[in-house]
Amino acid sequence: MKSSAPRLEAFLAYLLVERGLSVNTREAYRRDIEAFLATVAGTPLAAVTKEMIVRHLAQEKEKRRAPATMARKLSSLRAFFHFLAAEGLITDNPTVVLETPMLPHKLPAILSPEEVQRLVEMPDSHSPAGVRDRAMLELLYGSGLRISEAVAANLGDFDLGAGTMRCFGKGAKERLLPLSSQAVLWLERYNKEVRPSWAEPSARAFFLTAGGGRITRQAVWQQVKRYAAQAGIAKRLSPHLLRHSFATHLLENGADLRMVQELLGHADIATTQIYTHVNVSRLRDLYDRTHPRA
């Protein structure tokens, strides 16, 4: 594995520089490839065969990995060996003939507008942390941000007077997002009443902890789950709960799919089309409940 380490590092650098993948995605690729290299330890990369990869993936599947995780592991190995072949480090790419497994189609959980209102009103508006959390929730739902994008936001990314913010999404792609009136109201309150007492003079992060550090996405997600429980929301939750709800509510109210794609920062509109399936599913539920011969 040691002899393979420089090639793995070169591949990870390629993912950063050429493909602009996020730190989390690169680390997932690193773990996947290191696990495979440990399985075939002692085998030169040029001698790796399709059968070795299939055996490794079968071993991983026996660990009860989720289908999406197995698909990513194959994707990691496929990208790695494609890189090695493109760089002339191997002659034959053993992943060329491997098929990507079909993933079960899962519709994202969403909240109704009434549930969103209950959720965002849960934080204690009389406490500094509550004001921050209300501002965060209004931002996540009002602009459809990923939690990671919200916590990465800096003070200079907001123009509250204009009601906009700059967001840097996956691959460091920049987009300019509108802010809802409620988001602006709570962001301004947090920025005037709370942030100054927590921030060091040189602090760039917008959302802070009481100790002055940038809040983490894990902390935000824990708060979202806590507030959802307090609001009596028993639905299957995900870190994208408010993002999914944002997109679905826009489409239900007549927004154009391309506009939603731009707001979400999806590179491929096929990713955004999941929300049209959500709409069809909800229509089917309504039909089944209301049509006399359904």
What's the helix, strand, coil split of the chain in %, to 5? Answer: 60, 5, 35
Residue 31 region, left (φ>0) first, then alpha (ψ -120 to 50), else beta? alpha
Sign of CA dihedral 221, 223, 226, 228: negative
Report how far apart, in Å, the C-alpha atoms of 154 and of each of 22, 50, 130, 149, 150 are. 18, 46, 20, 10, 9
Q: For the chain, report the end-to-end CA distance as a whole number of angstroms.
A: 60
Question: Which residues are annotated as catalytic?
Answer: 146, 170, 240, 243, 266, 275
Secondary structure class of 186 (helix, strand, coil)? helix
Rg, Å, the chain Cα set: 23
Please state, in angstroms and rounded to a whole number, the distance separating the CA atoms of residues 274 and 61.
Answer: 27
DSSP β-ladder status, 174-178 and 158-159: unpaired
DSSP β-ladder status, 174-178 and 164-168: antiparallel
Residue (of 163, 212, 168, 205) closest to 188 by Cα position: 163
How many residues does this entry show for the chain?
294
Judge contact between 182 and 138, C-beta under 8 A. yes
Secondary structure class of 208 (helix, strand, coil)? strand
